[in-house]
Amino acid sequence: MDDPIVHGALGNSIAQVYTIEFQKHGLPHAHILIVLRAADKFSTSQHIDRFVRAEITSSIENLRLHEIITKCLMHGPCCIDNPGSPCMEAGQCKKMFPKEFRTETTMNVSVYPLYRRCPNDTTFVLGREMDNRFVVPYNTYLLLKYNTHIYVEVCISLRAVKYIYKYIYKGFDYSNMVSSAGQVQYNEIANYIDARYVSAPEAMWRLLGSHMHDRSHALMRLPVHLPNQKRVTFKDGHEEEALQDARSRQTMLESWFQLNQSDPDAQTLLNSDIPYNYVHYHNNWKRRKRGGKKIVARVYVLNVKDAERFYLRMLLLHVLGAASYKFLRMLTTSFLALQSKQLFTVTC
């Protein structure tokens, strides 16, 4: 983690997140997402070629790198050479290998860049001939330093970023276990249960207290709700207890109204800026003594069809120091009256 984050092996990093997973045979691997600062983002094909490659290096040029690539970074064999490969589905490779030969890297706004894969002489991997079309993208520095499989991909589109975030947080691997007792009527829910597979290395990893995931920034989601319409979660038979708890508990939005009634500094901030300067503790906003730089505040997105909450959200994103719902309504009424007066004046 120090190489890409501290030493900038891929550029200057401003945020990162990773998770550790264990394969069925017990070996751990990590999914890491690095967010680069704006000046270091991959915006051109030449920039990508400096950090990410997808070609087999000549054994004459760099024998050690050539050996690592052919040992750790070749996909397959699959397709015609190995129809039984795990990546095969309906007669095609799920990872879209082999790729096409390309003389230069092309920016692909739909998902990932199309990396340069020049036609080259074939090399033998597991007894089969393979070329640049089967190379998994990699970073030369990381590959030479660690001599292992390190797959590096550049995300240049929103679709790719959404996939990466979902893939990192997809959760653990599961296996289906069939349970049956005599001749019973088929019932998918009764016959199949989700079961965790925990290998000995994963168990030891957890017993030693090693981190399974980490992130550089914390995301704080700010609720938007109308008066007396905050979310209440309850269990069957305990509805009244949940209602009583909701009445005595303030949401982040209600706490923000209360904060603006007594704190002049808070009145100069928008609702979405409060988490950077205050921390929500015991149903109240308290001024931060440290931190705040590693917070990402987001207001819940609402559909325009939910008109009342949609426009409440709009007001919260533009109004400073709102002390209550009534304050926002009065402000809106005053604004509409002013607009109407201006329109009347112009019309006359």
| Residue pLDDT, tens place only, 10-39 | 999 998 988 888 877 778 888 888 989 999
User: Which of 215, 294, 196, 219 minimizes the C-alpha distance to 31?
Assistant: 215
Bridge pairing between strands 295-299 and 218-222:
parallel
| Residue pLDDT, tens place only, 120-145 | 877 777 777 888 999 999 999 999 99
pLDDT at 344: 46
Mean of the per-residue pLDDT values for the chain? 84
Cα four-point dihedral sign 46, 49, 54, 56: positive
- Tokens representing residue 59 in the block: 């054994």
Distance CA 104, CA 119 (A): 11
Domain residue ranges in the chain: 42-169, 174-210, 218-340
- Phi/psi of residue 216, nearest 5 degrees: -85, -30
**Strand partners of residue 192:** 178
Residue 347's pLDDT band (cuts 50, 70, 90): very low
* Host H or E run for residue 342: helix 325-347
Integer angstrom CA distances of residue 297 from 162, 221, 302? 18, 6, 16
Distance CA 64, CA 71 (A): 11
Residue 226's pLDDT band (cuts 50, 70, 90): very high
Q: What is the mean pLDDT of residues 149-175?
A: 74
Give yes or no for a contact between 9 and 141, defined as CB atoms under 8 angstroms apart. Answer: yes
pLDDT at 174: 55
- Phi/psi of residue 49, nearest 5 degrees: -60, -25
Q: What is the mean pLDDT of residues 81-107?
A: 87
Kindly provide the residue ranges of all beta strands, DSSP E only, lying in the chain, ordered along the sequence.
13-22, 28-36, 88-89, 92-93, 123-125, 128-130, 174-178, 192-196, 213-215, 218-222, 278-281, 284-287, 295-299
Which DSSP category does 324 fall into?
S
pLDDT at 138: 95
